Amino acid sequence: MVNSVAPRVESLAISGIKFIPKEYVRTKEEQTSITNIFEEEKKEEGPQVPTIDLERIDSEDIKLREKCREELKKAAMDWGVMHLVNHGISDELLERVKKAGEVFFQQPVEEKEKYANDQETGKIAGYGSKLANNASGQLEWEDYFFHLVFPEEKRDMSIWPKTPSDYTEATSEYAKQLRILVTKILSILSIGLGLEEGRLEQEVGGMEELLLQMKINYYPKCPQPELALGVEAHTDVSALTFILHNMVPGLQLFYQGKWVTAKCVPNSIIMHIGDTIEILSNGKYKSILHRGLVNKDKVRISWAVFCEPPKEKIILKPVLEVVSEEEPALFPPRTFAQHIQQKLCQETQEEFKN
């Protein structure tokens, strides 16, 4: 299939169209489960994404500390996603990061095009939209901005937004503070598996090699939200993913056979367990299937930071300590690059079947 550059979704949205182009229309099967996201968010019945309060994560009181760590471990094993509150990153910094991203996206499309990526040549950093490179040619109702934010020496500052002026400072500071939180989370997850606390951090590349990639997702208003998806159902390939959003609902998790809508919890960071940690833990920690819905009334923006191991340097496989005769390895050894490739192949096969 020849890739063609799709128009920016924002350009479509502001053109006044009443019907979305057919490339954005999901399959009939998907449409049966796409509902009004605002109605869904109000629902109180049924399972809810757990909220984990990290205030006591380093408490000197052993009981309080253990309780907090146990709750996080349980959420990682049961759901693989959670709202983190009292995570140690100030509300003021989170607001600065969000404001900077919002101001960048408020610029005219032609301004943002100066930062355009070129996926066909492998240049994925910058401003972009999904290309119709899957078998069905389906597109998602979003534009995005993608760049590496940590380690600092691996960043390409030439593609970072110049507008607003606070973008670089706010985003860099957030990345630094998030990296500290990553170490804390990985140590708790390690202890939860009966490992040394630094083990999972080491397995995903440590301070030098673990990459933090930020993707700002911009979901314009959609005239037919019941037919479209902002992001199709997927699991993250990362070790961990951390998400901020502008308090507009949209994230749904596939839990116990049903789509569950994540509530908007003020000043929280949503954290996903990604495939990498699921593999290392031999499936004890879950990488949950999730997707993004869109709506007619409000633009939704989310800031996802994917914590990814190096593509070739590390072999991903369940750590020896969690494998036994009773619980054999569920995942064959692979590099991170091979894992990504394998997922792409599986998706293509699924689409041809459909």
Instruction: Please state, in angstroms and rounded to a whole number, the distance separating the CA atoms of residues 279 and 281.
Output: 5
Backbone angles phi, psi at 5, to 5 degrees: -75, 120
| Cβ atoms of residues 112 and 146 within 8 Å | no
Residues 6+ apart with CB under 8 A from 2: none
Sign of CA dihedral 236, 240, 243, 249: positive
Q: How many CB atoms lie within 10 A of CB 73?
A: 18
| Cβ atoms of residues 229 and 139 within 8 Å | no
| Cβ atoms of residues 282 and 330 within 8 Å | yes
Q: Tally the C-alpha atoms within 13 A of residue 196's C-alpha that lie toward its C-beta.
A: 6
Is 67 a catalytic site residue?
Answer: no
Nearest to 302 by CA among 310, 291, 287: 291
Catalytic residue chosen out of the listed positions 43, 114, 154, 234: 234
Instruction: Please state, in angstroms and rounded to a whole number, the distance separating the CA atoms of residues 80 and 273.
Output: 5
Is 236 a catalytic site residue?
Answer: yes
Catalytic residue chosen out of the listed positions 87, 98, 130, 236: 236
Catalytic residue chosen out of the listed positions 112, 147, 272, 290: 290
> Please, what is the angle between helix 167-192 and helix 62-78, to 10°?
90
Is 53 a catalytic site residue?
Answer: no
> Residue type for 270, please?
I
Instruction: Please state, in angstroms and rounded to a whole number, the distance separating the CA atoms of residues 252 and 275.
Output: 18
Instruction: Please state, in angstroms and rounded to a whole number, the distance separating the CA atoms of residues 311 and 309.
Output: 6
Token pair, residue 286, equals: 């879950």
Is 313 a catalytic site residue?
Answer: no
Q: Would you call 72 helix, strand, or coil by DSSP? A: helix
- Beta bridge partners, 308, equal 211
Catalytic residue chosen out of the listed positions 73, 215, 284, 286: 215
Catalytic machinery residues: 215, 234, 236, 290
